[in-house]
């Protein structure tokens, strides 16, 4: 019989053993994201992103919460998960894909989730910029709350 802690560690290691799931965890380093934001960064079908998120959730790496129509994901707050995530992220330091994802996540946080889902990133970003210009540069909070 495999001890529960060993079984748990193997499940987390397997979950983090996929490039898309590692990218998701790296994105979540800066805080929670809406599933649509994760989908935009990965450029994968929503159903594929959902499968990856389900695997990360199953082994306890991420948690989610629902807010109306939107589902937000974040890294689980427990100490054991944080240790795994820290090791995985240390190994990705300087990775060009992860760095590009980080820049895109920063830009996505400036766009209201509702507009991202409705118009797509480029148009939603253009709308956010034009709204900010119309408001004299005083843009309200965008992205996930």
Is residue 102 included in any domain, yes or no?
no
Q: Which residue has the tokens 């100490």?
A: 79
Q: Is residue 104 part of a domain?
A: no
**Rounded average pLDDT over 95-123:** 93
Query: How many folded domains does the chain comprise?
Result: 1
Domain that holds residue 71: 4-93
In a domain, 136, yes or no: no
The total number of residues written for the chain in this structure: 145
Cβ(21)–Cβ(56) under 8 Å? Answer: yes
Can you tell me whether residue 63 is helix, strand or coil? strand
42-97 pLDDT, tens per residue? 999 999 999 999 999 999 999 999 999 999 999 999 898 889 999 999 999 999 99
Within 8 A by CB and 6+ apart from 72, the residues are 32, 33, 34, 35, 64, 65, 66, 144
Burial of 54 (0-12, 13-18, 19+ CB in 10 A): exposed
Please provide residue 35's backbone torsions phi and psi, each rounded to the nearest 5 degrees. -55, -35
Strand order in the sheet with 70-75: 33-34, 70-75, 62-67
Q: Residues 26, 102: contact at Cβ < 8 Å?
A: yes
Distance CA 60, CA 65 (A): 14
Quick check: is 141 in a domain? no
Tens digit of each residue's pLDDT (9 = 90 or more) over 9-40: 888 999 999 999 999 999 999 999 999 999 99
Q: Residue 42 domain-assigned?
A: yes
What is the chain's Cα-based Rg? 17
Strand partners, 74: 63
Within-domain flag for 142: no
Candidates 76, 77, 70, 54; CA nearest to 143 is: 70
CATH number at residue 36: 1.10.10.10
For residue 49, tell me if it sits in a domain. yes
Place of tokens 């996930």: 144
Average pLDDT over residues 108-124: 91
Whether residue 138 is contained in a domain is answered as: no
pTM score, two decimals? 0.85
């Amino acid at each position: 019989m495999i001890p529960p802690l060993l079984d748990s560690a193997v499940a987390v290691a397997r979950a983090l053993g996929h490039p898309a799931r590692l990218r998701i965890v790296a994105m979540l380093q800066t805080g929670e994201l809406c599933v649509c934001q994760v989908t935009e960064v990965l450029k994968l079908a929503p159903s594929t992103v959902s499968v990856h998120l389900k695997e990360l959730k199953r082994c306890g790496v991420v948690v989610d919460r629902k807010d109306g129509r939107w589902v937000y994901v974040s890294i689980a707050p427990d100490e054991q998960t944080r240790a795994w995530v820290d090791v995985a992220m240390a190994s990705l330091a300087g990775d060009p894909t992860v760095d590009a994802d980080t820049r895109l996540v920063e830009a996505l946080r400036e766009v209201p989730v509702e507009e991202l889902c409705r118009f797509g990133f480029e148009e939603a970003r253009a709308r956010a910029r034009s709204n900010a210009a119309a408001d004299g540069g005083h843009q309200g909070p965008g992205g996930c709350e």
